[in-house]
């Protein structure tokens, strides 16, 4: 039996990691090569990182594909000191895997996810469903609820959206997002961009930028043309970053929240 029993609850390590066993069957691939095939994965949360990653027992990893890292990084992954390069089909992926220094996670190996960091394994599966960007957090909920609230969005005093039929998306740890039918949005004030992002809970988003004179970050509006089934209610609707625009709900002007997206929006403005 795996030493990390599924009967144990969420635990912490002296290094500041949180971890818990998962009962999901997880596979990770590079191209057509399965590098990880695990029925005993462990979810790990690093300090200051809002999303988890997986670590896997060594016996469920293709260790024959791992090489001691030629240029191991420093100061990453909670002080990890052992990194591996991954060699698959004559391609060497530097620092694609590592071990944590925590005693609780001894004998486990973690991997980079290409869609999140631009390196590492490029496709992942939980059971027979492909997942993207990072593992889903079992302690997080995402609910998309149709509503009849009156929602308005303003940019520099201009009303760019006005609806009585929004879908409110409640996601643990984030402000409520207000998804609005396109017919209720001033699309003439927005320009579609080639920016896209992925979310393991919602799918792949497309973006629009405001083209007025106000100082607004690019890609301030997004939508999911083909959302994942759990949030099908937001299909084709548009949402605005609460952090960068003014949102009025039932005549109450909401305070702009401060989230990790503020930094992302600021970096976009800098470019």
Q: Which domains does the chain have, with CATH numbers?
A: 11-131 (2.170.150.40), 142-270 (2.170.150.40)
One-character DSSP codes across 140-183: --EEEEE----EEEEETTEEEEEES--EEEEETTS--EEEB-GG
Kindly tell me if the per-residue pLDDT of 2 is higher than 60.
Answer: no
pLDDT in tens, 23-41: 999 999 999 999 999 999 9
Q: Is 72 exposed, middle or buried (0-12, 13-18, 19+ CB in 10 A)?
A: middle
Neighbours of 75 (CB within 10 A): 7
Residue 183: partners with Cβ closer than 8 Å, 6 or more residues away: none
Asked if residue 124 lies in contact with residue 70, where contact means CB atoms within 8 angstroms, the answer is: no
Q: How confident is the model at residue 266 (pLDDT cuts 50, 70, 90)?
A: low
Question: pTM for this one?
Answer: 0.80
Instruction: Report which secondary-structure segment, H or E, holds 42.
Output: strand 42-45
| Residue 9: pLDDT band with limits 50, 70, 90 | confident
Query: How crowded is residue 106: how many other Cβ atoms within 10 Å of its Cβ?
Result: 11
CB proximity list for 31: less than 8 A, separation 6 or greater? 88, 89, 122
Q: Which of 8-12, 115-119, 225-229, 266-270 has the highest mean pLDDT?
A: 225-229
pLDDT digits (tens, 9 = 90+) for 192-224: 999 999 899 999 999 999 998 778 899 999 999
The DSSP result for 211-270, as a single string, is -SSS---SS-EEEBSS--GGGGGGBT-BEE-TTTSEEEETTEEPPPP--THHHHHHHHHH
The pLDDT tens digits for 46-104 are 998 888 999 999 999 999 999 999 999 988 888 787 999 999 988 999 999 999 999 99
- 257 pairs with which residues across the strands? none
Q: Inform me whether the pLDDT recorded for 7 exceeds 70.
A: no
Asked if residues 190 and 221 have their Cβ atoms less than 8 Å apart, the reply is yes
Supply 220's token pair: 């301030």
By C-alpha distance, which of 224, 212, 217 is closest to 241?
217
Q: How confident is the model at residue 1 (pLDDT cuts 50, 70, 90)?
A: very low
């Amino acid at each position: 039996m795996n030493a990390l029993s599924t009967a144990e609850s969420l635990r912490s390590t002296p290094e500041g990691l949180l971890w818990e066993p998962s009962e999901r069957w997880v596979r990770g691939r590079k191209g057509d090569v399965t590098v990880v095939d695990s029925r005993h994965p462990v979810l790990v949360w690093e300090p200051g990182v809002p999303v988890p990653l997986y670590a896997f027992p060594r016996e469920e990893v293709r260790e024959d594909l791992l090489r001691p890292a030629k240029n191991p990084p420093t100061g990453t992954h909670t002080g990890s000191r052992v990194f591996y390069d991954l060699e698959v089909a004559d391609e060497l992926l530097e620092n694609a895997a590592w071990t944590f220094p925590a005693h609780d996670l001894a004998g486990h190996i973690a991997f980079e996810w290409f869609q999140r960091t631009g390196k590492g394994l490029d496709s992942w599966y939980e059971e027979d469903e492909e997942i993207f960007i990072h593992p889903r957090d079992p302690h997080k909920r995402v609910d998309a609820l149709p509503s009849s609230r009156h929602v308005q969005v303003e940019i520099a005093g201009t009303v760019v959206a006005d609806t009585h039929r929004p879908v409110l998306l409640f996601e643990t740890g984030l402000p409520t997002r207000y998804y609005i039918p396109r017919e209720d949005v001033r699309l003439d004030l927005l320009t579609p961009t080639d920016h896209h992002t992925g979310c393991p809970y919602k799918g792949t988003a497309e973006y629009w930028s405001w083209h007025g004179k106000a100082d607004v970050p690019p890609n301030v509006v997004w939508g999911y043309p083909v959302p994942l089934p759990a949030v099908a209610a937001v299909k084709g609707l548009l949402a605005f970053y609460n952090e960068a625009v003014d949102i009025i709900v039932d005549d109450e002007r909401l305070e702009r929240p401060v989230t990790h997206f503020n930094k992302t929006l600021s970096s976009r403005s800098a470019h």
